[in-house]
Structure 1
Amino acid sequence: MIKHALFVRLEAKPGKEQAVADFLADGLEMTNQEATTPIWFALRLSPNTFGVFDAFASEEDRQAHLAGNMAKSLMARVDEMLARPPTVETFDVLAMKNALA
């Protein structure tokens, strides 16, 4: 059961918007390799603001994701792509509907 989640906000440097979008699209492959990350969305919130939403069954799974390849890869490119370090919000999931369209 999904109980824990993250929202990460990313603000691209001017001219780096496509690099951030491409990085997030490529991130799907990395997160698909994480057995403990069952829900992951890469989002474009505005022309230069992006987000990642992920959800997990346990706090341990959330921490494993934060220490995983996607997070490491992002942090290695912060200075190159982002106007400021990402903001990470953690929260608990109270209820969830998951039905494919």
Structure 2
Amino acid sequence: MTTAIDFDTNEPITVQPVAIYAGSAYDTLLIADGNTGKPLAYGDINHEWYTDLAYDGDFEQAAEKIEGVYGADEAEWEAAANKKLAKYGLKLGDFDEKAGDRYTLVEV
């Protein structure tokens, strides 16, 4: 179970992190909450996730970015993404075929 602190209430909420392709580029992933669709940001100092349930601004500006994800094929790309996601204690889960642009993230 992953939790994030809501900026407005300072209360923890349960979130389902997802990694979304940033536009048509596959080299950058944005982290969001799959439950609410709101961006998730990571606190490098305290290693906690943050969100703002009332946020309606620029999604790409507020979401945690995973940049520089490259691979010669799908397996290499997934390995590169997982290597970068390890910083957050996460790895790629299932690809969301319906949405077509995101993976669920699971704790390692």
Give the alignment's TM-score, normalised by structure 2.
0.28
Larger relative strand fraction = 2
Larger relative contact order (CA 8 Å, sep ≥ 6): 1
Indicate the structure with greater helix content.
Answer: 1
> TM-score under structure 1 normalisation?
0.30
